[in-house]
């Protein structure tokens, strides 16, 4: 080797040795960090999937036994290997290429059973993926697991006859909220960076708050409801949950679009985006007028304390706080005045439509489903009795017809009245958005004697207002209570204001960094490395 060549190599090695090393840590890695490690050759999609599967084995099946997963995808590693090969040969399909995702068990998946947490539907294999699942898979995402949920999304404590009780990883004595509790708890334990939930009255937002992660309840109609087992279709929407605002915003873009089978999505034409990350800026709160909602203050002093601290942080970031503003009386009374007549009327027809599309051998009406469920009066293998949900379904099977004047009045007049009242509140006070603590109190302790009682006094909540108005609501971690339980704040805005709300949440998240890994699910060997 010539002296010149030796000198060149020595200089090259010296420069390389001074390059800063990158550190990968699964606990804090979002999609950009994962893809950067992949690009550097320090990680593969197969290895990434193995890391998440190892966490599920260590903490869902063993350790604190969080019980978040209903069905583990047996083909996850094979899919990851195929995506590794595709990446090497053709490049990345999208930023979600090779990223494992946790899906609530009411999203139809053609290769995995979709039971809605119900033992009667434990072997129900849909004919096709839900459009949202297909869109995510087309982007290269891997559905690594189907997650436990409150049965048929009726309830808020994370219990189902098929999956039993999911535990909160921040304190396994407490529930994870619901109905997307399995997804929320799985994300907190970092079984994946992204998850899918559904929301009828707070079922994305409650678990996001109880487990300290990010959630998006989108504008109704932005995301197709086709292939998502219904709860109350008028109020239902699917949406992303994640460990960061960026990852949630990224995922939302792959879930939007007009679906011919869901007429509500026609309203989103020209109003939705396929990339919401473009709106994420670190100074988005400067000069923004936020109306502070304190309607449920006093429910839990610790939640109030964290909220006060969050308000101070928002103000320091440049937000103008209009404090307080109160929801109009018609909005606060919406659950009884608007939601209940729609719920008791729709459920029967919603389930007849969904059950009618299943393979032969499954119940076709909510009454038949209730009859089958009520028969389970003692544990049977992995299945557990859930009498209260089936008794409720038995009552709903005799609900009024869709032609009922009470129902049509609630939809045609009640919902627009609540929507107008909330828009009026924002207009009168010149507000860009409303901010409030997502849950008014910390997750309660699980009562082992009554884990499966649906009809119990609910936690006082404001989340259902977003369902009645059909407005978007974005949650972001805001801190911990003295009991080390997470609290989130919600940004609620007008229809299709997701770009603004996500920008506000991102600015707050990046400045405060309140995501806290639970002590019960620490890092495992191989999850942290330098490259």
Residues with catalytic roles: 104, 179, 203
How far apart (Å, rounded) are the C-alpha atoms in residues 527 and 511?
Answer: 25
Please check whether residue 240 is in contact with residue 218, taking contact to mean a CB–CB distance below 8 angstroms.
no
Count CB atoms within 10 A of the CB of residue 320.
Answer: 16
d(CA 8, CA 164): 65
Could you give the CA distance from residue 146 to residue 105 in angstroms, rounded to a whole number?
A: 5
With the CA atoms of 277, 279, 281 and 287 taken in that order, what torsion angle do they form, in degrees rounded to the nearest 10?
-150
Identify which of 248, 267, 250 has the alpha carbon closest to the alpha carbon of residue 258: 267
3-state secondary structure of 378: coil
Other CB atoms within 10 Å distance of the CB of residue 9: 11
Q: Strands 23-25 and 528-530: what pairing?
A: antiparallel
For residue 321, give the H/E element and its range.
strand 320-325
**Residues facing residue 147 across a β-bridge:** 69, 104
Distance of CA 17 to the CA centre of its chain: 43
DSSP percent split of the chain into helix, strand, coil, nearest 5: 40, 15, 45
Q: What is the CA 317 to chain-centroid distance, rounded?
A: 26
For residue 283 the two structure tokens come to 């100074």
| Residue 178 in tokens | 């619901």
Q: What are the two backbone dihedrals, phi and then psi, of residue 386, each rounded to the nearest 5 degrees?
A: -140, 65
CA-nearest of 83, 22, 20 to 47 is: 83
**Which of the 8 DSSP states describes residue 440?**
S
- Residue 142, helix vs strand vs coil: strand
Q: How far from the centroid of its chain's Cα atoms is residue 48's Cα?
A: 22
Cα-to-chain-centroid distance, residue 490: 13
- DSSP states of 28-78 as a string? T--HHHHHHHHHTTS--HHHHHHHHHHHHHHHTSSTT----EEEE-TTHHH
Q: At what angle do helices 245-253 and 498-512 cross, to 10 degrees?
A: 160
Token look-up 């959630």 returns 215
In the three-class reduction of DSSP (H, G, I as helix; E, B as strand; rest coil), residue 222 is classed as coil
Q: How many Å is the Cα radius of gyration of the chain?
A: 23
């Amino acid at each position: 080797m010539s002296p010149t060549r030796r000198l060149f190599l020595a200089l090259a090695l010296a420069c390389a040795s001074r390059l800063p090393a990158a550190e990968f840590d699964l606990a804090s890695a979002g999609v950009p960090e994962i893809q950067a490690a992949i690009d550097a050759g320090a990680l593969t999609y197969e290895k990434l999937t193995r890391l998440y599967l190892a966490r599920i084995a260590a903490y869902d099946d063993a350790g604190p036994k969080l019980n978040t997963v209903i069905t583990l995808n047996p083909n996850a590693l094979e899919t990851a290997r195929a995506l590794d090969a595709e990446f090497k040969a053709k490049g990345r399909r999208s930023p979600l290429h090779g990223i494992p995702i946790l899906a609530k068990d009411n999203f139809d998946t053609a290769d995995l059973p979709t039971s809605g947490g119900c033992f009667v539907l434990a072997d129900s294999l849909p004919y096709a993926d839900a459009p949202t699942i297909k869109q995510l898979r087309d982007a290269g995402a891997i559905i690594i697991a189907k997650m436990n949920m409150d049965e048929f999304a009726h309830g808020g404590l994370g219990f189902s006859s098929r999956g039993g009780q999911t535990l909160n990883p921040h304190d396994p004595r407490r529930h994870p909220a619901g109905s997307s509790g399995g997804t929320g708890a799985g994300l907190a334990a970092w079984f994946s960076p992204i998850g899918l939930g559904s929301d009828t009255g707070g079922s994305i937002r409650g678990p996001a708050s109880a487990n300290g992660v990010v959630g998006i309840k989108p504008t109704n109609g932005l995301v197709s409801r086709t292939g998502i087992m219904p709860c109350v279709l008028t109020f239902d929407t699917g949406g992303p949950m994640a460990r960061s605002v960026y990852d949630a915003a990224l995922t939302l873009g792959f879930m939007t679009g007009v679906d011919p089978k869901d007429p509500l999505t026609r309203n989103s034409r020209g109003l939705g985006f396929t990339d919401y990350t473009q709106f994420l800026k670190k100074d988005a709160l400067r000069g923004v007028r936020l109306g502070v909602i304190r309607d449920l203050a006093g429910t839990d002093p610790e939640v109030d304390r964290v909220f006060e601290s969050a308000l101070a942080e928002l103000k320091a970031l440049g937000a103008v706080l209009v404090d307080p503003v109160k929801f109009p009386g018609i909005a606060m009374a919406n659950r009884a005045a608007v939601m209940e007549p729609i719920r008791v009327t729709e459920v029967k027809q919603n389930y007849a439509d969904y059950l009618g599309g299943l393979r032969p051998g499954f119940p076709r009406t909510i009454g038949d489903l209730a009859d089958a469920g009520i028969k389970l009066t003692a544990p049977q293998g992995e299945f557990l009795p859930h009498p209260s949900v089936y008794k409720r379904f038995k009552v709903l099977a005799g609900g009024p017809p869709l032609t009922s004047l009470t129902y049509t009045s609630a939809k045609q007049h009640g919902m627009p009245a609540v929507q107008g009242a909330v828009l009026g509140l924002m207009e009168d006070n010149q507000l860009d958005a409303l901010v409030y603590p997502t849950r008014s109190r910390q997750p309660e302790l699980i009562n082992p004697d009554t884990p499966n009682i649906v009809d119990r006094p609910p936690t006082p909540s404001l989340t259902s207002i977003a369902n009645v108005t059909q407005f978007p609501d974005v949650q972001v971690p805001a801190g911990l209570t003295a009991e080390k339980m997470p609290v989130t704040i919600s940004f609620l805005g007008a229809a299709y204001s997701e770009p603004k709300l996500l920008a506000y949440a991102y600015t707050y998240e990046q400045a405060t960094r309140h995501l806290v890994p639970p002590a019960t699910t620490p890092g495992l060997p191989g999850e942290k490395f330098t490259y």
